């Protein structure tokens, strides 16, 4: 259990102008980072990775057409690059803020536009916020959080799942430092008929956490990558039907 949840926390910290994709991301296809559609932030292709470099952007997003039929899996690597703190002094005081996530089931996405939501979709979000202001004004977001938002439109998102992982296990930011600047594999299994979404542990392939979401909202044409207040690289994106 500790290994599984720690992996999720690690992802919390890792927690280029493109063109419209010529083809959807098909089964077993390794994604071309040049074929994502930037909406907010500074996205660029670096080798086989799509990197968001603006550490000040709160709503960084890039979109990609991908299959959302039946039961399918999404895999990619994520690597922390920079950011997650306002200044070096803030970092010394232990005040961090940064996160990343992925919208699944997205439809009617506002392509090329900076928005809060992404059509009708679910945002799986991993977030670290240790700022004293957050503890006072927004305690539901304080700490190391695994969160799920339901997006209704470009301007509406509702927090529907919210787990304070650090409080549950008594972990600190220092526990994460050895894992910075590493590629971390992410694997999701989505069943848009039942609404079950599995998030696999990168260190234990058969171990996963699961969510029960609304099946109708999981049907869509796009996936969207997001970051908040940090720079991160995403590589080796694949989509395929699940066994």
CA pair distance 243, 131, nearest whole angstrom:
43
Every domain of the chain and the residues it spans: 2-241
User: Residue 67: what pLDDT?
Assistant: 65
User: What dihedral angle (degrees, nearest 10) is formed by the CA atoms of 187, 192, 196, 199?
Assistant: 10
The reported pLDDT for the residue numbered 149 is 97
What integer pLDDT is reported at residue 5 of this predicted model? 44
Q: Quote the CATH superfamily of domain 2-241.
A: Exo-inulinase; domain 1 (2.60.120.560)
pLDDT in tens, the chain (243 residues): 444 444 444 444 433 222 223 355 555 454 678 889 999 999 999 888 999 999 999 999 999 888 667 888 889 999 999 999 999 999 899 999 999 999 999 988 999 999 999 999 999 999 999 999 999 999 999 999 999 999 999 999 999 999 988 887 777 778 777 777 889 889 999 998 899 999 988 777 788 888 999 998 888 889 999 999 999 999 988 888 886
Beta strands, E only, 6-142: 29-30, 37-40, 43-46, 49-52, 60-65, 71-83, 97-107, 120-129
**pLDDT at 24 (0 to 100):** 58
| Residue 22, pLDDT score | 35
**Tokens standing for 61?**
């997003």
pTM assigned to the model: 0.86
pLDDT at 4: 45
């Amino acid at each position: 259990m500790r290994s599984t949840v720690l992996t999720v926390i690690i992802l919390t910290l890792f927690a280029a102008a493109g063109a419209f994709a010529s083809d959807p991301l098909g089964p077993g296809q390794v994604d071309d980072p040049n074929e994502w559609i930037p909406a907010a932030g500074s996205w660029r292709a670096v080798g086989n990775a799509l990197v968001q470099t603006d550490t000040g952007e709160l709503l960084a997003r890039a979109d990609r057409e991908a299959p959302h039929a039946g039961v399918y899996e999404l895999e990619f690597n994520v690597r922390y690059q920079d950011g997650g703190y306002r200044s070096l002094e803030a970092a010394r005081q232990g005040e961090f803020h940064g996160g990343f996530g992925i919208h699944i089931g997205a439809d009617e996405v506002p392509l090329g536009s900076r928005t809060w939501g992404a059509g009708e979709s679910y945002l799986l979000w991993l977030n670290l916020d240790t700022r004293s202001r957050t503890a006072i004004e927004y305690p539901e977001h304080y700490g190391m959080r695994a969160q799920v938002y339901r997006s209704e439109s470009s301007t509406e998102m509702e927090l529907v799942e919210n787990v304070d992982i650090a409080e549950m296990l008594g972990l600190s930011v220092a526990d994460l430092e050895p894992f910075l600047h590493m590629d971390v594999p992410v694997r999701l299994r989505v069943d848009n008929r039942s609404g079950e979404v599995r998030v696999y542990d990168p260190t234990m392939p058969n171990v996963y956490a699961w969510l029960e979401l609304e099946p109708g909202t999981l049907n869509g044409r796009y996936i969207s990558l997001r970051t908040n207040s940090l720079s991160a690289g995403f590589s080796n994106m694949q989509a395929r039907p699940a066994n």
